[in-house]
């Protein structure tokens, strides 16, 4: 199963969107894995054309 979420819609804190332009792709993926660990333990996380 594949989920595609626009990177601009990722929320890292309640009520606050994440600005991915301040970090490298690897840093963004690591932060997503840390924040959404309950999902990412069993999933591959990647970014392509603004989608996670």
| Domain carrying residue 9 | 1-52
For residue 13, is pLDDT > 80? no
Report pLDDT digits (tens) over 42-52: 788 889 888 98
Number of folded domains in the chain?
1
Distances (CA, A) of 1 to 4, 15, 21, 26, 42: 10, 28, 28, 23, 12
* Predicted model pTM: 0.71
The owner of tokens 């392509």 is 48
Counting residues of the chain whose pLDDT is more than 90, the rounded percentage is 2
Rounded CA-CA distance 40/32 in Å is 8
């Amino acid at each position: 199963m594949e989920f595609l979420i626009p990177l601009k819609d990722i929320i890292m804190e309640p009520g606050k969107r994440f600005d991915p332009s301040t970090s490298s792709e690897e840093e963004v993926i690591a932060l997503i894995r840390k924040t959404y660990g309950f999902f990412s333990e069993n999933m591959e996380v990647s970014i392509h054309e603004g989608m996670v």
